[in-house]
């Protein structure tokens, strides 16, 4: 299963069926990404064909929810790729503070369970202080997974020491004081009001949703890599248009600008994939 089925007509049919059933635009995603997700569900259910999977999927609400979870890519942690956040703290934030006298607006696109948005808020709090950050910073996290958005809004996370993806203490280790941002009880971390006053979460579909505007920073990391090149070009143009002059765009370490965006965005820190919109 997988890549060899890229041109299988039953694979194409399943893509179309899933698009109609789940209202998830599979036609804009790379086939190898979809193939891995479909095949994972086939293995879990011990099925041997895409047709058999479709017959099961269309009549089973629980499986529809499981497939949607597979497709919405919810890998996240606080300060994922620390070097990016270090550059943001020491290079981007000082530029923003010096150049932008009013409120600084940040968009965390594809925010999953909210850890990226809260990480950004913590860095601004480190730089500005608790009282100033509430007046200067507005962070909006968006995603298409409503369960993730609910989790992000509640802001409670569970840590299991020794497992890097969920060892929150390790993820937060370079902050001066974890307890400044979280109420901590055993291995349960709950975001304090300080961060919730700065961050809010909204449903938004990057592909078909309304275009957004007037941001000073956009984080969209490890999301567009799963999309077709044509859609990547469209989204990079959307992000460019959504930024104010001089705004910053931060992408994933494995992602690259494609098409016209290579000539419109100005490199700021190429190693950490940070770019600017021309002033």
Give me 54's structure tokens.
């479709």
The pLDDT, as a whole number, for residue 70 is 87
Q: Between 224 and 173, name the one with better pLDDT.
A: 224
Residues 135 and 242 placed together within one structural domain of the fold: yes
Is 179 found in the same domain as 58?
no
- What is the Cα–Cα distance from 141 to 112, expressed in whole angstroms? 8
pLDDT in tens, 154-179: 999 998 766 656 789 888 987 878 88
* Full residue range of the structural domain in which residue 62 is found: 3-71
Looking at the structure of the chain, the number of domains it has is 2
Residues 1-6, mean pLDDT to the nearest whole number: 43
How far is Cα 188 from Cα 168, in angstroms, rounded to an integer? 9
Please give the pLDDT value at position 6.
47
> How many angstroms separate the CA atoms of 187 and 272, rounded?
31
51 and 110 part of one domain: no
Is residue 76 a part of any domain in this protein? no
Q: What percent of the chain has pLDDT over 70?
A: 95
**Domain C-terminal end among 14, 39, 71:** 71
Share of the chain above pLDDT 90, in %: 78
- Pick the last residue of a domain from 26, 52, 71: 71
Last residue of a domain, one of 41, 71, 101: 71
- Tell me: do 53 and 167 sit in the same domain: no
Say if residue 108 is in the same domain as residue 224. yes
Q: Are residues 87 and 29 part of one domain?
A: no
For the residues 206-229, what does the mean pLDDT come to?
94
Question: Which of the four pLDDT bands, split at 50, 70 and 90, describes residue 74?
Answer: low
Q: Above 70 in pLDDT, residue 2?
A: no
pLDDT of residue 162: 64
Q: What is the dihedral of CA 122, 126, 128, 133, to 10 degrees?
A: 20
């Amino acid at each position: 299963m997988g890549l060899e089925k890229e041109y299988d007509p039953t694979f194409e049919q399943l893509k179309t069926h899933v698009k109609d059933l789940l209202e998830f635009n599979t036609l804009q995603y790379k086939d190898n990404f979809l193939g891995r997700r479909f095949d994972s569900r086939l293995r879990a259910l011990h099925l041997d064909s895409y047709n058999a999977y479709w017959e099961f999927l269309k009549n089973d609400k629980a499986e529809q929810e499981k497939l949607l979870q597979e497709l919405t890519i919810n890998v996240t942690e606080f300060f994922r790729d620390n070097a990016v956040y270090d550059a943001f703290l020491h290079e981007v934030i000082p530029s923003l503070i010096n150049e932008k006298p009013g409120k600084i607006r940040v968009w965390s696109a594809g925010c999953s369970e909210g850890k990226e948005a809260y990480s950004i808020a913590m860095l601004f709090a480190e730089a500005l202080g608790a009282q100033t950050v509430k007046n200067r910073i507005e962070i909006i996290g968006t995603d298409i997974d409503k369960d993730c958005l609910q989790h992000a809004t509640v802001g409670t996370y569970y840590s299991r020491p020794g497992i890097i993806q969920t060892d929150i203490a390790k993820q937060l280790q370079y902050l001066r004081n974890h307890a400044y941002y979280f109420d901590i009880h055993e291995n349960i971390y709950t975001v304090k009001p300080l961060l919730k006053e700065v961050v809010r979460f909204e449903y938004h579909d990057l592909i078909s949703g309304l275009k957004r505007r007037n941001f000073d920073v956009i984080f969209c990391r490890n999301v567009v890599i799963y999309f077709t090149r044509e859609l990547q070009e469209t989204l990079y143009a959307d992000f460019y248009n959504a930024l104010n002059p001089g705004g910053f765009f931060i992408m994933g370490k494995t992602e690259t600008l494609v098409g016209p965006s290579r000539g419109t965005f100005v490199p700021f820190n190429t190693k950490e994939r940070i770019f600017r919109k021309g002033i």
